[in-house]
Structure 1
Amino acid sequence: MSGARAFLAEGEGPARPDRLGHGTAVALMIRRAAPQAAILHAQVFDDRPVTSAERVACAIRWLSPRCDLILLSLGLAADRAVLREACAGARAEGAVLVASSPARGAMCWPAAYPGVIAATGDARCGWDELSLLPQCIVGAWCASPERGGRGMGGASLGAARVAGHLAAHWPEARTDAAGWLAARAVHIGAEHRGAVPA
């Protein structure tokens, strides 16, 4: 399955050219990790990396009957009922959600919701490595210059790499996706040592 749809301030419609390059970079990351994966693109940005809870919620509701792994390479500063309900609905339908989170500081949404895998970039991680950070945030390769990356990077690309780890091992990783990721972390904070399943 493949396809794309835009969720704009003025309503839903056909996808537009990716003027930011964000969705393209995220898709390329997943494609590199899991060439077999079918990718659906729900566009929630225009020409700036700004969106709304309503737009993201509409995108999640469109994706959830079509996808069992949903990557949300974005973070919003405030909890909104419409977004919370869309994430809960997707999880109730069996979807695994991965969302971008800052490595430090205040959490953002939807990464802060229960059951959503919070993911970020970690410059310590090589392409095949994962880390487990405070607040159970999963870190991954994120095109950081320390690892030879160029261009776009950060939490969005780290979240895409985390989703790529899962997609490459689907459906094995699906049953307990958070536990599957934690068990493969090679960089583990002191608060997690001894608590990560072998």
Structure 2
Amino acid sequence: MTCRAPRIGIVDSGGPVAQMSGARAFLADGDGPARPDRLGHGTAVGAVVRRATTEAEILHAQVFDDRPVTSAERVARALRWLSPRCDLILLSLGLAADRAVLREACAEALATGAVLVASSPARGPLCWPAAYPGVIAATGDARCDWDELSLLPGGVIGAWCASPERGGRGMGGASLGAARVAGHLAAQWEDARADAAGWLADRATHIGSERRSGIPA
């Protein structure tokens, strides 16, 4: 039996020209066709997802222009556009304040059955949308090899993040960790989709500061 790969939405700065078919930009002054990535961040995030799963279709929702600055309202519009179209949505970003428009958009997306993964800092204050109920908060964990996961305080899932400790170069951190978490889910979608958060936690090699064995296949 062939397992269906998920359609993955990425809320970030877009991707290279070859990956922008069907993409849309959510700008401060309205929505429109997306342009190729000018920051490189969405490209790096998309490359991590694509490395994990070559079969899944990726759809970019562009909320950054030529600077890493956006708003809750723009992210909410991107979510509302992606949620009817995608099974799994990666928000490789975090905002410092809880805003009703973003909270409501996340709740609506979750109600459609979409799985949401969002970047969360490994240390420091909460950020949104990762802190909303039902959203999988994900971060980078330098202990994790490509195939490993960690379960951190507060239920945050840690993953490979291109850290120098694991031979990584260039961009790293929570955004790439979140992309790797989304990749874990996408690669095993038929098994993971019903309880994505529980599936990830069950496969964590590291629980807090401890390492465990006997991880499910």
Give the TM-score normalised by structure 2: 0.86
Question: What is the root-mean-square deviation of aligned Cα atoms in Å?
Answer: 1.9
Partner of 1:176, secondary structure, is helix
Give, in angstroms, the shift of residue 3 of structure 1. 2.6
Q: Does 1:162 align with 2:206?
A: no
- Provide the rounded CA distance (Å) in 2 between the counterparts of 1:172 and 1:109: 27
Find the partner of 2:134 among 115, 124, 133. Answer: 115
Counterpart residue number, 2:15: none
- Provide the rounded CA distance (Å) in 2 between the counterparts of 1:59 and 1:174: 22
Gaps of 5+ in 2: 1-6, 8-20
**Counterpart amino acid of 2:172?**
G
Counterpart residue number, 2:96: 77
Asked if structure 2 preserves the Cα contact closer than 8 Å seen for 1:182 and 1:197, the reply is no
Counterpart residue number, 1:62: 81
Q: Deviations over 1:49-89 (max 9, x none)?
A: 11000000000000000001000000000000000000000
- Provide the rounded CA distance (Å) in 1 between the counterparts of 2:30 and 2:167: 39
Give, in angstroms, the shift of residue 190 of structure 1. 6.2
The percentage of aligned residue pairs carrying the same residue is: 84
Q: Does 1:138 align with 2:157?
A: yes
- Provide the rounded CA distance (Å) in 2 between the counterparts of 1:48 and 1:175: 36
- Provide the rounded CA distance (Å) in 2 between the counterparts of 1:197 and 1:53: 37
Q: Deviations over 1:141-164 (max 9, x none)?
A: 000011000001100000000000
- Provide the rounded CA distance (Å) in 2 between the counterparts of 1:33 and 1:106: 29
Instruction: Give the 3 Å change call, closer, same or farther, for CA 184–79 of structure 1 in structure 2.
Output: same
Q: Deviations over 1:95-145 (max 9, x none)?
A: 000000001111100000000000000000000000011111000000001
Q: Deviations over 1:9-39 (max 9, x none)?
A: 1111111121110111111110000111110
Q: Does 1:182 align with 2:201?
A: yes
Gaps of 5+ in 1: none
Counterpart residue number, 2:66: 47
Q: Does 1:20 align with 2:28?
A: no
- Provide the rounded CA distance (Å) in 2 between the counterparts of 1:3 and 1:175: 27
Q: Does 1:129 align with 2:148?
A: yes
- Provide the rounded CA distance (Å) in 1 between the counterparts of 2:158 and 2:194: 20
Structure 1 consecutive aligned stretches of length 4 or more whose deviation exceeds 3 Å: none
Counterpart residue number, 1:100: 119
Alignment length (residue pairs): 196
- Provide the rounded CA distance (Å) in 1 between the counterparts of 2:191 and 2:198: 12
Partner of 2:138, secondary structure, is strand
Give, in angstroms, the shift of residue 189 of structure 1. 1.3
**Counterpart amino acid of 1:45?**
F
- Provide the rounded CA distance (Å) in 2 between the counterparts of 1:130 and 1:173: 14
- Provide the rounded CA distance (Å) in 2 between the counterparts of 1:73 and 1:3: 19
Question: Which deviates more, 71-80 or 3-12?
Answer: 3-12
